Amino acid sequence: MPSPTKETRTLSPLATLPATMQLHPPPSSGTHRTLRRLQSAHSLGAKAAAQPSLISQQRFQAQNQQQRQQFQRLQPIQQKPPSPARRHVSTARSPQRGRANSDAAPVPTTTQLAAMAMTATRRSALSKRSLAADSMSLERLLRDGPPNDDVEGALESARLKILDQGIRSDSDGMSSLRIYVWLILLNAPVLETDTYLSLIHRGPSPAYSKIRNDTFRTLTTDPLFRRRVSEASLIRLLNAVAWTLHDTREDRTREPSIASIASSSRQSLDQLSSRPGTGHSGYGSGQSHPSSPAAKNRARALTLTTEGSETSMAAESGTYVQGMNVLAAPFLYAARSEAEAFIAFHQLLTKELPGYIRGAMDGVHKGLALVDKVLAIVDPRLSLYLLSKNLTAEIYAFPSVLTLCACTPPLPEVLRLWDFLFAYGPHLNILCIVAQLVMIRTKIMDSPSPNKLLRSFPALQADQIKRTTLAIIKMIPDDVYAEIVVHAR
């Protein structure tokens, strides 16, 4: 199932920023004048045979009005009106006039009208919510399954519950429900424990030495993680994942593949499965320019092939990259067994973030470029200031992109942020990083050396990051958002 669309996320009650962090300018005072000009444009352009007919425009306008009324009934929220350039103007024809309206906006082309219709269709995702599922708690929804076998509607309702209410947990971030919600949202197959044990019994993988070099320094400053997760558990999980990736790369079948085993035993999870579309990280914060020799050496070092391997497979998927230890840590912390953590982590790597472990981690570098691009759109002044200090995302955001912000404490806030990312797509991590920059904008602009400030991001505040991210989504052009969705593929 494709990931929830961009417009779905913009209709949440959380999309309103605090008064001190408004990112949108107020509507123009010339809104009504602009509408009259657009209406005049329709009148003047209706005679052109090459343009779409008024009947087509009325059909699109009627569909959009009906869908807007559905949204208002399903989720009444206070929203800032769209900018005049994106309003749907009335197609009622004004009296014909013979004058040339030189400043009138052109009539939308057929392509533009098709894009408008596509946007309206995507916005209708909220109408797929199950009203029966809305009345159920998240715990009951997972226990009893989707009412009336409406899987799609139940999933949409579950996502909105996660967005608005979160997953109930204690002060340490522990929840008996969270891992199962993650498994469902990641569309992870059911995995028997014996399958995981068979991978463990194969012994050290070709990536074992690399794994051992990283695991001892995973979240070393987080007492919650160190108290609950042992290094031995982390080694076993990463070693098992390395074996599966190694087998896939070599196109071998020493052990039955995860997919074949899971497909024969998908039961309850398959009924609700759907994929939506800081100092303690264990690697340095400073990064160099992607084209510099240092960056190339770093990318080569981070891409694990096999220590002592006689073959070079730089263009293919690796079996371990530095940083995977931090990415795996929250799964082990939230899961009730290593097998659960393994299949969720494996699904994230292979289905959601394959570009992050492929070759020289091209997906990560695409994500870093997108951080720079989005920041330039959202806050041009902040972007220019960072660039004037020779600070690109390659330098300060590499760990945050690679680990989905898991490198920034505290761990309970990481878990809450991941609830949001798994519900609506891990690709939103790019916008979450930009949101963190916006949240500390004043400190960055007032700092003569922002590099020191960005060596370790401030402590995560999941709820505020989500609110800021939802506001940023409205500012991103559709083509840029499409790049964000696919950058990790």
**Average pLDDT per 10 consecutive residues for the chain, totaling 489 residues:** 55 45 51 52 42 49 51 39 36 40 44 43 51 85 87 91 93 94 95 94 94 93 93 96 89 46 36 34 37 41 33 50 94 96 96 90 96 97 96 96 96 97 97 97 94 92 96 95 95
pLDDT of residue 123: 42
pLDDT of residue 61: 58
**In sequence order, what are the beta bridge partners of 321?**
303
Which backbone phi and psi does 93 adopt, to 5 degrees?
-80, 135
Angle between helices 411-424 and 324-334 (to 10 degrees): 90
DSSP 419-477: HHHHHH-GGGHHHHHHHHHHHTHHHHHH-S-HHHHHTSPPPP-HHHHHHHHHHHHTTS-
Q: What's this model's pTM, rounded to 2 decimal places? A: 0.66
Distances (CA, A) of 304 to 68, 215, 281, 307, 395: 50, 15, 18, 8, 21
Per the CATH hierarchy, to which homologous superfamily does domain 178-486 belong? Ypt/Rab-GAP domain of gyp1p, domain 3 (1.10.472.80)
Distances (CA, A) of 282 to 144, 213, 420, 447: 42, 10, 25, 26
CB burial of residue 287 (10 Å; 0-12, 13-18, 19+)? buried
Domain boundaries, the chain: 1-15+108-165, 178-486
Detail the DSSP E strand segments found in 41-83.
none
pLDDT of residue 31: 53
- Apex 455 CA angle, 450 and 460, nearest 5: 105
pLDDT of residue 252: 43
Rounded CA-CA distance 182/188 in Å is 8
Rounded CA-CA distance 9/75 in Å is 12
**In sequence order, what are the beta bridge partners of 317?**
358
